[in-house]
Amino acid sequence: MMTQMPSPPPEELVKQWESEQKRLRQQVVEEDTEDWQRSPDFSGLERVGGVDLSFIKGDEVSACAQLVVLSYPDLKILYEDSHMVTLTAPYVSGFLAFRETPFLLEALQRLKISQPTLMPQVVFVDGNGLFHYREFGLACHLGVLSGLPCVGVAKNLLQVQGVLKDEEHQSQIAALQKGGDSFPLTAASGKVLGKALRSCDKSFKPVYVSVGHKISLGTAVRLTHSCCRHRVPEPIRQADVRSREYLRIHFPATDT
C-alpha cells in the first residue's frame, strides 16, 4: 500500500478560517438560557441530541453524518438519521468545525422539516467548545450557527492556552474519586475554559467538557454526567455506534 503525504493546509484558507472564528466567537452565549437548565433535576428537559461523523478507513472524504435524539432522562432513541456526505475541507487541528459543521447543520435541517417536534433541546458534540485555541471549537460553531444549546465533549485533552497534560494533570485525574467529580482546565489568563470530568464510576479516563453555546459550564458538566452510562455521554455514543453500523452495512470491507 503506497503512503500518501498529508497535503499542507493552504495558509490563506487557514487565515480566513481564523477570522471567521474570531467573528463568530462574539456570538457565543456562555450562560444558561433555558428554564430546564436551572432545575436541579433538569425538569423540563425531554430531548437530548448527539452528532458525529464516521469515516471509511481508506477514504478521506466519504463519511456518514449522524444525528440522534434521545429521550431524557430515559436516554431512549427517539430519532435517528444516517446520511452519507462528501467532505470538502481537510482536517486541521483547531479548525475541525469547517470540516464537519455544514453536514451537522444539514442533519438538523432535515429533522426540522420532517419531525420538528423532535428537535433536541441541547446537542452533545464530539469535540471541544470554548476549550479551544481561540475559544471557538466545533461545539461553539454548531451552537452559534444552529442557535441550539450545545455541549462540547472531547475524549482527548487538547493542550491549549497553557493547559498541559503533564504529571500535574495526571495527578489531578488520579484524584477524581467517583463519577461526577471534576477539575477545572484553566487558561494562562485565569479563565476556566472547561473541566475534566470522570463521567461515570467505571471510567477512569476523564472526558473534557466545555461550553458550546447557551449553557453554563457548571450546567454542561452536570448534564454530561447525567447522560453517561459509559465514559462517553449516551447521545454521542449512540451517534458513533449507529454511524459506524451504517458504514459497516452499506460499505462492507473489501479484501484484496
Q: Please select the residue that binds DNA; options are 52, 81, 135, 234, rule is CB under 7 A.
A: 52
Q: Confirm or reject binding of residue 159 to DNA (CB under 7 A).
A: yes
**Sheet containing 122-126, strands listed edge to edge, beginning at the edge strand earlier in sequence:** 77-86, 62-71, 47-55, 122-126, 150-154, 207-213, 192-197, 182-186
Crossing angle of helices 96-114 and 138-146, in 10° steps, is 40
Q: Confirm or reject binding of residue 142 to DNA (CB under 7 A).
A: no
Q: Confirm or reject binding of residue 251 to DNA (CB under 7 A).
A: no
233: Cα separation from own chain's centroid: 10
Q: Confirm or reject binding of residue 91 to DNA (CB under 7 A).
A: yes
CA distances in angstroms from 131 to 80, 151, 211, listed in the order given: 28, 11, 8
- Could you give the CA distance from residue 151 to residue 127 in angstroms, rounded to a whole number? 9
Q: How many residues bind DNA (CB under 7 A)?
A: 30
Nearer to DNA, 45 or 125 (CB): 125
Q: Please select the residue that binds DNA; options are 3, 11, 26, 57, rule is CB under 7 A.
A: 57
Q: Confirm or reject binding of residue 234 to DNA (CB under 7 A).
A: no
Q: How far is the CB of 70 from DNA (least distance, A)?
A: 19
**Of 223, 163, 150, 233, nearest to 194 (Cα)?**
163
Q: Confirm or reject binding of residue 149 to DNA (CB under 7 A).
A: no
Contact (Cβ atoms closer than 8 angstroms) between residue 47 and residue 80: no
Q: Please select the residue that binds DNA; options are 38, 76, 155, 229, rule is CB under 7 A.
A: 155
Q: Confirm or reject binding of residue 224 to DNA (CB under 7 A).
A: no
- Could you give the CA distance from residue 102 to residue 106 in angstroms, rounded to a whole number? 6
Nearer to DNA, 117 or 156 (CB): 156
Q: Please select the residue that binds DNA; options are 67, 69, 158, 221, rule is CB under 7 A.
A: 158
Count of residues for the chain? 256
Q: Which residues bind to DNA, rule: CB under 7 A?
A: 52-57, 91, 93-97, 126-128, 132, 137-139, 152, 154-159, 165, 244, 247, 253
